[in-house]
Amino acid sequence: MTHDPDQDATADFGFERVGAREKARRVRAVFESVADRYDVMNDVMSFGVHRLWKRWAVELAGLRPGQRVLDLAGGTGDLTALLARRAGTVVLADVNPAMLDRGRARLLDEGVAGNVGYAQADAEHLPFGAHTFDCVTIAFGLRNVTDKEAALREMHRVLRPGGRVVILEFSRPTVAAVRPFYDLYSFRVLPLMGRLIAGDSASYRYLAESIRVHPDQETLKAMMERAGLGRCEYFNLSAGIVAVHRGYRL
């Protein structure tokens, strides 16, 4: 009998350490639970600032007409809608069918169609050939991936030479005075909002914990370099609460 190494792999699920497959199952359950209220919660949690963060990420993508973009963990389509105005084709990909369905319905309602495709896809095992995309984006999704290193290698694989990866994600605050207030908000206010608005405090407690165990700015930059990306850099937003990382396939 052959041994399956995946059975032994572990990953962080918030502050817990669980089996890799268990993390994937739990993350799927989190987003199935919050899909219907996800957009409302994003606006409430960030006081609408997430829209500015996403616009900045799209600016850093430096897209040109006719280029092909993969929006990983695209969820309800916020970033895809912005990308579709600048690129030739955008593929919205998400591993969670509930989020993908929500994103497709929302974009169609907003009239974003014609140059947008959809794919249910695992970031660690992308169903696309090498050198397929000019840009790969992922916004607030990398921290939920079980094997982040594998996902970064896949992003590198599907990029064309000269293409770039743009990662928008919560990160480590760079201003010490901000941290205690940020912790209070994350672990007290955020779960309460989740209970009152989405009827689910546990999922938003996990989201707060997942931010704390996600790699900081320098660690993520080093991970991107190990995955083969070059000219890697990052830009801190909102005192480092959020950062945009960018790297290129050279």
SS3 for 154-174 is HHHHHEEEEEEEEEEEECCCC
> Of the spans 30-39, 202-211, 218-227, which averages the highest pLDDT?
218-227
Is the pLDDT assigned to residue 3 strictly greater than 70?
no
Residue of 160, 143, 156 whose CA lies nearest to 229: 156
pLDDT digits (tens, 9 = 90+) for 152-172: 999 999 999 999 999 999 999
What pTM was estimated for this model as a whole? Answer: 0.92
Residues in contact with 105: Cβ distance below 8 Å, sequence separation at least 6, in sequence order: none
Distance, CA of 109 to CA of 112 (rounded, Å)? 8
**What separation, in Å, do the N-terminal and C-terminal C-alpha atoms of the chain show?**
42
For residue 168, count other CB atoms closer than 10 A to its CB: 26
Distance, CA of 213 to CA of 88 (rounded, Å)? 36
pLDDT digits (tens, 9 = 90+) for 6-25: 556 889 999 999 999 999 89
Q: Which amino acid is at 238?
A: S
Instruction: Tell me how far CA of residue 4 lies from CA of 1, 8, 9, 128, 234, in angstroms.
Output: 9, 8, 10, 25, 37
Beta-strand pair 89-94/68-72: parallel
Instruction: Tell me how far CA of residue 135 lies from CA of 8, 146, 164, in angstroms.
Output: 33, 22, 5
Domains of the chain plus CATH, in order, are 10-175+204-248 (3.40.50.150)
Q: Which two tokens stand for residue 108?
A: 């169609």
Predicted pLDDT of residue 77: 95
pLDDT digits (tens, 9 = 90+) for 76-85: 999 999 999 9
Distance, CA of 35 to CA of 98 (rounded, Å)? 7
Any idea which residue has 């999704």 for tokens? 141
The pLDDT-based confidence of 216 (bands split at 50, 70, 90) is very high
Of residues 106 and 45, more confidence is placed in 106
pLDDT digits (tens, 9 = 90+) for 95-104: 999 899 999 9
Distance, CA of 99 to CA of 131 (rounded, Å)? 27
